[in-house]
Amino acid sequence: MRLMLVVALALSVIACSKGLDTIESAEAFAKSRGVVLTEKTEDKEQIVAPRCFDYKGHGADVRLLQFNSHDAAAEWKKRMDGIPIEPAQRIQSGHIVIEVRADDDATQQKVVAALQP
């Protein structure tokens, strides 16, 4: 039993060190951080990422974007963060970029803090 626990823990550490690679892994990550994502809706209109879903989570709008590579996700995040009037905060982990928007800063900061890798 202990050996299985150690192996499971080691595998989760390895997975986390590489970052998130799918929408499903990002959903599980959010849940493990106490951010329950509801009202899942696929955003088929956007043309930035191969997969993108919008959610509600703790009073904030959360968007998960899945890119084909870590580099593509990092580059898109960098470019979006460079737009001064863009209110969303972004967290990049592996192939996934998490966008968080909320009406008030306190709610947005709470969700962003919970989703930091």
- C-alpha pair distances (Å), 98 with each of 13, 22, 29, 111: 20, 12, 11, 11
Strands (E), the chain: 38-42, 51-57, 60-66, 89-93, 96-101
- Angle value at C-alpha 89, between 116 and 31, nearest 5 degrees: 40
Average pLDDT (43-67) is: 96
| Cβ(85)–Cβ(75) below 8 Å | no
Distance of CA 54 to the CA centre of its chain: 11
pLDDT at 84: 86
Fold of 20-115: Phosphorylase Kinase; domain 1 (3.30.200)
Confidence band, pLDDT 50/70/90 cuts, at residue 2: low
- Of residues 5, 2, 48, 57, the one with CA closest to residue 27: 57
Confidence band, pLDDT 50/70/90 cuts, at residue 86: confident
Average pLDDT (59-79) is: 97
Mean pLDDT rounded to a whole number for the chain: 88
In the predicted model, is pLDDT for residue 5 greater than 80? no
pLDDT at 103: 94
